[in-house]
Structure 1
Amino acid sequence: MKECVLLLLLAALCSAKPFRSPSHLALKNMMLKDMEDSDDDDDDNDDNSVFPTKETVNPFFPFDLFPMCPFGCQCYSRVVHCSDLGLTSVPSNIPFDTRLIDLQNNKIKEIKENDFKGLTSLYALILNNNKLTKIHPKTFLTTKKLRRLYLSHNQLNEIPLNLPKSLAELRIHDNKVKKIQKDTFKGMNALHVLEMSANPLDNNGIEPGAFEGVTVFHIRIAEAKLTSIPKDLPSTLLELHLDYNKISTVELEDFKRYKELQRLGLGNNRISDIENGSFANIPRVREIHLEKNKLKKVPSGLQELKYLQVIFLNSNSITKVGVNDFCPTAPKMKKSLYSAISLSNNPVNTREIQPATFRCVLNRMSVQLGNFRK
């Protein structure tokens, strides 16, 4: 019964706009895994799971008759749901054992020092779509188990100071952040996902050493003011998304630091030139997005990427496709089959493309051609 109610709450939470986060089932699984890991490190035998298993529930009264819950909010199974209430501040009387607080779609302008004081079990905090301009530097001093912090669609000028070292996911999409200062993420060894799109951030705004010692797997800085690929991001990156920027060229040194990269997003930029050998530095890449740029030819080196399965080159200025642009020429070289090659909306004469050009494609439905209009 408890899990059913919580799943309904999480379903409503993840379907509310403009919050774009993992599905409620994925969030539940992440919570369970994180809490299981934290339970293994605890010395006591208290039940710290998000979905308590040791509580004694009265079968005739499964709900608490008089639960402590902020006025107007809904509380159950350690979830406090206070979205869409027109709140101008964080409500008081939040239960101390709360694991998830949903405050999105309100009118909160400031997070004060003691707003979350004592919430030592807090796992996820959702503040999307408010009017935040200030978060007190001591706000998160006691939330030492906070794993997921969502601050998107606010008016913050900087990344909050003194974030919990336990944080695994930070989403600060669509704010006014212009700079990532050195030591902003210092000691945050668990930070794996960083979403910073739709901020007025340029290359000079990323200070050297800003990500020193941090293990981040996924970074998205789309819809910003980048004119080149940042060279000082974490070397642990598996996914890098820089779509909708002002990048015009890709240089040989751009990917030298990101050898583990598997997904690369450079769509909707101004790229007209990719230096030969640039992709050789990311030999594990599986998916590349270069759609809606200004390329005049298929980038070199794709045929040597043995794991590459998806490549989007649609809506460029490509006029010719060579027989060896995608597939290896060495007969003994093993290459993953392409599941998607998009060349649509390019001024290329499809009749001049030789059938052997797509010899390493999964099937003919994996190739998209045509639809070009002058």
Structure 2
Amino acid sequence: MKLVAGLAVLWLWVAEAVENCPSVCKCSQKFSTEKIEVNCQKRGLENIPPQLPLDSWILKMGDNLLQDVPANILTSSPKIESVNLERNSIKLIDPQAFGGAQRLKLLNLQGNQISKLPVKGFKDLLNLRFLMLGHNQIASLKPNMFIGMKNLSDLDLPLNSLTALPPNAFKPLVALKVLDLALNRIQRISPKAFVGLEELIFLNLDNNKLKNIQAGTFGPLTGLEMLVLDNNLLSTLATSTLDGLSNLRELYVRKNEIESLPADVFRHTPKLTHVGLSGNRLHSIDGNMLANMQGLKEVYLFDNPWKCDCSINSLVHYIAQTTANHSPLRRLLCVSPEAVRDRPIHQLKSDELPC
């Protein structure tokens, strides 16, 4: 009798779970917990199901036909922690869309058609850790867009239409660790754009339109460990540009238009271990500057138009003496003068460098 009673209870639970699951979706329960995953991926849906199981933990709505996110989409499932809305056709997000979703930790909106974020639209997401907004059409940012997100650790905004970063753009995000702004069209960064981001560890500005960066812009980023500025239009890197980055360990400024570097450019970054300067327009560089960087492990200098005269004597000496990996040596070549054209720099001797 006990076995029959147990089976009856199990049948009733299964029936209830199926009843509460949207008919077009598939619901599954995590073993040994009451957490339910609601999978509505690739169902051709134009709307988010109005009723979800009370114990919903994950909602997957990717690859559907949603055009907007209406108000209070998660009120029927207050325990939800992860929502995936990627690769729909979402253009609008109601300011109250995520009202009451205080347990939400991950929100994926990448691959939509969002051009504008709602003011205070994420204010209820007090425990959100990951916000993915990449591959949209977001053209501008304002500080009040991120109000309330005091626990956000990862903000992904690549492949959007940003042209500038205004003052205090991310100020409410006091716990942010990772900020990805790659593949935008950013030309201007306010010197106060990164105020409030003392906890940031990784900043990616790869593939933008930056020609210069004002002194002190990175000053608030006292905890930053990795900065990526590859594929921009920077013509120089001033000492003041790196002011405040005392914990920086990796700096990548590859494929820019840098022609020269001040001898003290890394004065404010004593912990650097990796520096990428390949693909620029450098003719020479002070080898003593590199030699004085005691922790340097990797420095990438290839694909620059090196002028192998006595101006690079200190670089030749540095390469011969250092134990750091200074890029694939076979690609570190002289461009001029003609007598040493295409010679690997590490094969040169000081007496071969004309003045």
TM-score of the superposed pair, with normalisation by structure 2: 0.77
* Secondary structure of the structure 2 residue equivalent to 1:106: coil
Q: Which residue of 2 aligns with 1:40?
A: none
5+ residue gaps, structure 2: 1-5, 31-35, 336-341, 343-355
Alpha-carbon displacement from aligned partner over 1:95-146 (angstroms, at most 9, x marks no partner): 1111111111111112222432221111111111100012222221121111
Instruction: State whether residues 251 and 275 of structure 1, in contact with CA within 8 Å, keep that contact through their aligned partners in structure 2.
Output: no
State how far apart, in whole Å, the 2-side matches of 1:250 and 1:299 are.
15
Q: Which residue of 2 aligns with 1:198?
A: 159
State how far apart, in whole Å, the 2-side matches of 1:82 and 1:345 are.
49
TM-score of the superposed pair, with normalisation by structure 1: 0.73
Instruction: State whether residues 274 and 296 of structure 2, in contact with CA within 8 Å, keep that contact through their aligned partners in structure 1.
Output: no
State how far apart, in whole Å, the 1-side matches of 2:322 and 2:214 are.
27
Q: Which residue of 1 aligns with 2:44?
A: 86
Q: Which residue of 2 aligns with 1:262?
A: 225
Instruction: State whether residues 173 and 198 of structure 1, in contact with CA within 8 Å, keep that contact through their aligned partners in structure 2.
Output: yes
1:278-357 alignment, distance < 5 Å: 278-298=241-261, 300=263, 301-302=265-266, 305-328=269-292, 335-338=294-297, 340-348=298-306, 353-357=315-319
Q: What code does the residue aligned with 1:224 have? A: N
Instruction: State whether residues 158 and 183 of structure 2, in contact with CA within 8 Å, keep that contact through their aligned partners in structure 1.
Output: yes
Task: From the superposition, tell whether residues 146 and 359 of structure 1 become closer, same or farther in structure 2 (CA, over 3 Å).
Answer: farther
Q: Which residue of 1 aligns with 2:332?
A: 370
Q: Which residue of 2 aligns with 1:112?
A: 70
5+ residue gaps, structure 1: 1-56, 330-334
Q: Which residue of 2 aligns with 1:7?
A: none
* Secondary structure of the structure 1 residue equivalent to 2:220: coil
Instruction: State whether residues 178 and 199 of structure 1, in contact with CA within 8 Å, keep that contact through their aligned partners in structure 2.
Output: yes
Per the TM alignment, residue 366 of structure 1 is displaced from its structure 2 partner at its CA by: 7.4
Task: From the superposition, tell whether residues 89 and 360 of structure 1 become closer, same or farther in structure 2 (CA, over 3 Å).
Answer: farther
Per the TM alignment, residue 210 of structure 1 is displaced from its structure 2 partner at its CA by: 3.8
Alpha-carbon displacement from aligned partner over 1:157-216 (angstroms, at most 9, x marks no partner): 22244312222221111212222223222232101211112222222xx44344334312
C-alpha root-mean-square deviation of aligned residues, in Å?
3.0
Q: Which residue of 2 aligns with 1:149?
A: 107
Instruction: State whether residues 46 and 64 of structure 2, in contact with CA within 8 Å, keep that contact through their aligned partners in structure 1.
Output: yes
State how far apart, in whole Å, the 2-side matches of 1:299 and 1:230 are.
23
Q: Which residue of 1 aligns with 2:139?
A: 178
2:92 pairs with 1:134: yes
Number of aligned positions between the proteins: 308
Task: Pick which of 94-103 and 107-116 moved more.
Answer: 107-116
Task: From the superposition, tell whether residues 136 and 279 of structure 1 become closer, same or farther in structure 2 (CA, over 3 Å).
Answer: closer
2:171 pairs with 1:212: yes
State how far apart, in whole Å, the 2-side matches of 1:289 and 1:357 are.
20
The share of aligned pairs that are identical, in percent, is 21
State how far apart, in whole Å, the 2-side matches of 1:341 and 1:230 are.
29
Per the TM alignment, residue 91 of structure 1 is displaced from its structure 2 partner at its CA by: 2.5
